[in-house]
Amino acid sequence: MNRARRSTDWGFPRWRGYGSSREAAQVRLCDRHGCNDPGNCPAPKSPNSPDRWYFCQKHAAEYNAGWDYFAGLDAEEAARREAQERSDFSGFKESAHYGWAGSGDGSRSRDELRALEALGLDPDADFDAVRKAWRSRAKEVHPDVRPNDEEAAKAFQTYQVAYEVLRAAEERREWRG
């Protein structure tokens, strides 16, 4: 007759290592051919499909860089889906105006960056620098200073539009509580 042995496992993890069971751990490998890293980043195989690829972090970044949400859709369907996405998530745009982060770290829009480039300023320029650059450049090409000069007129309009874009952005960033 076998005698019962005393167990050293009292259920408290201090007396055994975490994950010390003898079963093999399930590890899913990256779905990219030839990669032996763990595939823990799911990626959709096609839009609106429940099927997923499982990539390592490096291959998931490569896959997402080439992902086109609107692939295979005609222009009308793509526009409809884009409008639906914008209406569903437009509440998140509201927080953009508070400007918790400083400029140069994604807090400026593409239009603002183009306007700063037109004025010859860095992406992290403050509004005082914008105002000074706009005044100095507008004085050089103003239609009163250089009459009948088409290039100067175009440059003046460019500076004017750039200043308006940046002024409107600055007003949105200011909180008037």
Both 77 and 128 in one domain: the answer is no
Assign residue 48 a region (left: φ > 0; alpha: ψ between -120 and 50; beta: otherwise).
left
Q: Mean pLDDT across the chain, nearest whole number? A: 80
Q: Which residue has the higher pLDDT, 29 or 105?
A: 29
Report whether 163 contacts 134 (CB < 8 A).
Answer: yes
Residues 75 and 132 in one domain: no
Residues 63 and 114 in one domain: no
Q: 33 with 55: CB under 8 angstroms?
A: no
Same domain for 119 and 166, yes or no, is yes
The answer to whether residue 126 sits within a structural domain is yes
The reply to whether 65 and 121 lie within a common domain is no
**Is the separation of the CB atoms in 139 and 64 below 8 Å?**
no
Q: How many domains does the chain have?
A: 2
- Residue 99, token pair as written in the block: 């400007």
Q: Is position 65 within any domain?
A: yes
We report the CATH number of the domain holding residue 135 as: 1.10.287.110
Q: Quick check: helix, strand or coil at residue 42?
A: strand
Helix (H, G, I), strand (E, B) or coil at 77: helix
Tens digit of pLDDT for each residue in 52-107? 889 999 988 888 887 777 778 888 998 998 888 877 776 666 555 555 544 455 67
Q: What is the residue range of 128's domain?
A: 110-176
Q: What is the pTM for the complete model shown?
A: 0.42
Q: How far apart, in whole angstroms, are the C-alpha atoms of residue 95 and residue 151? A: 40
> Among 92, 127, 152, which residue terminates a domain?
92
Of 106, 172, 161, the C-alpha closest to 138 is 161
For residue 133, is it within any domain?
yes
As a dihedral over the C-alpha atoms of residue 95, residue 99, residue 103, residue 107, rounded to 10 degrees, the angle is: 0
Structure tokens belonging to residue 97: 């105006």
Domain membership of residue 33 (yes or no) is no
Which tops the pLDDT comparison, 161 or 175?
Answer: 161
Tell me the pLDDT band of 151, cut-offs 50, 70 and 90. very high
pLDDT at site 15: 56
Task: Choose the weakest-confidence range: 72-76, 116-120, 129-133, 136-140.
Answer: 72-76
**Tokens found for residue 119:** 């004025």
